[in-house]
Amino acid sequence: MAIARSITSFMFFLLISSNSVNSSVLAQATTAKFTFIGFKGNQTEIQTEGASEIQHENGLLRLTNRNQNVTGTAFYRKPIRLRNFTNSSDIKVCSFSTSFVFVIIPSSPGTGGFGFTFTLSPTPNRPGAESAQYLGLLNRTNNGNASNHVFAVEFDTVQGFKDGADRRGNHIGLNFNNLSSDVQEPLIYYDTEDRKEDFQLESGEPIQVHVNYDGPSETLNVTIYPTRLEFKPKKPLISRRVSELSEILEDEMYVGFTAATGKDQSSAHYVMGWSFSSCGENPMADWLDPSKLPLPPRLSNKKGYDSQVIALIVALSIVTLVLLVLLFIFVMYKRRIQEEDTLEDWEIDYPHRFRYRDLYLATKKFKEKNFFLADWVMEFHTNGGILSAVDQKLGSSFNGREAKLALIVGLLCCHQKPTYRPSMRMVLRYLNGEDQNVPQIDGNWGFSDSSRDDLKTNVVGYVSSDRASSSNTFSSFSEVSSSSIVSGR
């Protein structure tokens, strides 16, 4: 009897305890809610594996870096009950709602890949999962197997799944145990007037996602849009009945992200913030205010460039530098040539500077004794033929009166006594004909008689050389006359 009593009391105890376990499980099923505004200080809440990590410096959850052929997973550490009661003939999946903001930074524009997923998984990691088109979620042997029990929303930047998985892609899809998406939509959002606007996953701009599942109607909605919009589009990109979920999900699931890069196609995938809520009447994940989230990494970060690209950049830089140096030398050379030899247009008709070389030759290396241009002109003046100083090559194509005036004013400006030299204002008045009373040049004008003696021979030589245009002895004079003495007009 005693034994029977103890057995019944033991069984009673068992009943009570199993009852209490059951009620605690049911209580759990009604509540699951969390919000991460950035992930700083949340290392213990998130289980990261592979290339994934929570970055200390900015609090971003990085799923993959830009290395090639890597995978990374990040799951909320605690399992979430998504089925409230196990009844093989009447399985109901809890409603759930999640929202997150992500950013994808391609290693360089057009070579990003492969993508990432929001995943419901029976494990808080994905052992054996492969990179590239398997997105760190599955591998070639278990892909499509119903024993996987995984559901994922994929954000794919490479089109195609089988061997031809190398075209650019920009879509989201729904994956049921199988990475060939049953549902696939190119990336757009509906604006306030219900027009489709497309945008790029791997643009480097933050993008917000809402995934809402309604248990009773088995409807799944996915809405995705760039956070810069500052409004949530009313119409979801995907809205459909997904009865598969009740077969795929287990009572408890882990929620999180998987990501992968491929060969020559790699992007860094970041989650900036994440909220989740499940079961209960109408679970709604917390709204994530983009302005409160950590700043996204910058696109200009060059970390992911591979060595070939760097080599190309370096080579191009060197070539550009060499070309610039050559251009600089050429420009400087041209400028020197111009400064040396080119008279500007106005200088041909008006008084102009003399080239150093001309003066050098004309003055026979600046030996004072040898030559004064003014003395030379004065010589003509005293002989009454000042116009002889004009370059013979001009022929008769000049105004004799003006040339004579200019030469006389020029002589006045060279007067031995500075007080006799006219002011610039007077010079202009003389030349403009406003003042006809140009002073006479008196006998005290000059300095050196010796130079004038020398001059005579030179002048003779000049005249003859210009007529014969051959004698080497006077070639220097020819040069002076042909270019510089033009100024004497």
Ligand X SMILES: *[C@@H]1O[C@H](CO)[C@@H](O)[C@H](O)[C@H]1NC(C)=O
Which residues of this protein are in contact with ligand X, per CB under 6 A?
Answer: 26, 29-30, 34-36, 41-42, 45, 69, 84-85, 87, 89-90, 92, 127-128, 130-131, 139, 141-145, 147, 178, 180, 182, 212, 214-216, 219, 221, 235-236, 239, 263
Query: Under the phi-then-psi rule, with left for phi > 0, alpha for psi from -120 to 50, and beta for the rest, what region is 181?
Result: beta
**Nearest distance from residue 38's CB to ligand X, in Å?**
8
Of 65 and 143, nearer to ligand X (C-beta) is 143
Of 211 and 406, nearer to ligand X (C-beta) is 211
Stretch (H or E) spanning 81: strand 80-81
**Nearest distance from residue 56's CB to ligand X, in Å?**
13
Of 146 and 325, nearer to ligand X (C-beta) is 146
Q: What span, in angstroms and rounded, lies between the C-alpha atoms of 331 and 44? A: 65
Of 34 and 420, nearer to ligand X (C-beta) is 34
Give the residue among 140, 104, 141, 109 at the shortest CA–CA distance from 257.
104
**Nearest distance from residue 206's CB to ligand X, in Å?**
20
Of 54 and 373, nearer to ligand X (C-beta) is 54
Of 182 and 339, nearer to ligand X (C-beta) is 182
Tokens of 371: 């030559």
Q: Residue 461 — φ and ψ, nearest 5°?
A: -60, -45
Q: What span, in angstroms and rounded, lies between the C-alpha atoms of 12 and 170? A: 60
Q: Which DSSP state fits 111?
A: -
**Nearest distance from residue 274's CB to ligand X, in Å?**
9
Q: What span, in angstroms and rounded, lies between the C-alpha atoms of 367 and 469? A: 25
**Nearest distance from residue 2's CB to ligand X, in Å?**
36
Rg (CA), the chain: 47
Q: Residue 394 — φ and ψ, nearest 5°?
A: -70, -15
**Nearest distance from residue 146's CB to ligand X, in Å?**
7
Strand 61-64 relative to strand 53-54, pairing: antiparallel
- Give the residue nearest to ligand X (CB): 144
**Nearest distance from residue 4's CB to ligand X, in Å?**
30
Q: Is 125 helix (H, G, I), strand (E, B) or coil?
A: coil
**Nearest distance from residue 111's CB to ligand X, in Å?**
14
How many other β-carbons are positioned within 10 Å of the β-carbon of residue 204? 19
Tokens of 320: 């550009």
**Nearest distance from residue 338's CB to ligand X, in Å?**
59
Of 57 and 434, nearer to ligand X (C-beta) is 57
Of 59 and 106, nearer to ligand X (C-beta) is 59
Of 29 and 361, nearer to ligand X (C-beta) is 29
Of 265 and 481, nearer to ligand X (C-beta) is 265
Q: What span, in angstroms and rounded, lies between the C-alpha atoms of 219 and 442? A: 116
- Count how many Cα atoms sit within 13 Å of the Cα of residue 11 in the half-sphere of its side chain: 5
Of 40 and 404, nearer to ligand X (C-beta) is 40
Amino acid at 359: L
Q: What span, in angstroms and rounded, lies between the C-alpha atoms of 132 and 114? A: 6
Beta bridge partners of 36: 274
Q: What span, in angstroms and rounded, lies between the C-alpha atoms of 28 and 81? A: 7
Q: Residue 151 — φ and ψ, nearest 5°?
A: -125, 135
Tokens of 124: 């808080």
The single residue listed with the structure tokens 């810069």 is 228
Amino acid at 432: N
**Nearest distance from residue 96's CB to ligand X, in Å?**
9
The single residue listed with the structure tokens 């290392």 is 43
**Nearest distance from residue 124's CB to ligand X, in Å?**
13
